[in-house]
Amino acid sequence: MTLALATTTPGEPEIFASLQGEGPSAGRPSLFIRLSRCNLACQWCDTAYTWRFTGDNRPHRDSAAFDRQANQLILAEDDVVSRLLAFPQDRLVVTGGEPLLQATALARVLTMLKAERPGLHVEIETNGTVAPSPAVDPLIDQLNVSPKLAHSGNPRELALIPERLDAWAADPRAFFKFVVANPVDCEEVAALQAAHAIPGERLFVMPEGTDSETLREREKWLSALALERGWRMTDRLHIHLYGDTRGT
């Protein structure tokens, strides 16, 4: 029984300690594990190495294709657990790709981890299209749900599933994080908030960008819109600290 992980370098899984860079837990010391595979294809995705392998022609702004063998690592579940327990952090962020595509194996890994570290807080970063399985759902403490807007390039019927958005809005563990590139994107966010009764205190808007200059420029107008709409705004702290790099 295995998990498919992303890599930092060939043969090295992307398991690392850092400060959470985004959303409601920004600034918190955390342990990260990045899983491979995704069911969506965002044009601006900054972790395309988790899904856009050679032969995958889904659109991306860089048109880059990644060798699967170098960028995906299959590890036994007990090996994953051992590697995670080597870190002292009591907050685990499971990211991707789309982690909930591997919910069955993830549930077994989280069960083993929580048995060894009962106070472990588990956050799942998800694109919001996949429901947590009955096995993994009770093991999740926080869901950072990032529905993809029209500018992501994903078909609406794949990226914005009404019944899933309703379910996330009703789940107090779920925080919404919308990636915004221009002011018109905020109109789409407002429409989704109204359609699915998303509480403002659990709705974050975040500028799209992989460098500090772009983030700061977009935050100038995004902050005003967040204030006007009663939303929360999140930065991308890890970009300012480490740049657009793996394992950070």
| pLDDT tens digits, 53-79 | 999 989 899 888 999 999 999 999 999
Answer whether the bond into residue 97 is a cis peptide, omega within 30°: yes
In this structure, is residue 166 part of a structural domain? yes
Q: What is the pTM of this model?
A: 0.97
Using one digit for the tens of pLDDT, what is the confidence trace for 20-35?
Answer: 999 999 999 999 999 9
* 79 belongs to a structural domain: yes
Split into its structural domains, the chain has a count of 1
pLDDT of residue 57: 87
Radius of gyration from C-alpha coordinates of the chain: 17
Residue numbers of the domain that contains 162 = 2-178
Please give the structure tokens belonging to residue 167: 């379910």
**What is the pLDDT of the chain when averaged over all its residues?**
97
With respect to residue 211, please indicate whether it lies within any of the assigned structural domains: no
* CATH number for the domain harbouring residue 128: 3.20.20
DSSP 182: S
DSSP string computed for 122-161: EEEEE-S-SPPPTTTGGG-SEEEE----GGG---HHHH--
Answer yes or no: is 30 within a domain.
Answer: yes
pLDDT-derived band at 102, boundaries 50, 70, 90: very high
Within 8 A by CB and 6+ apart from 48, the residues are: 60, 62, 64, 66
In a domain, 230, yes or no: no
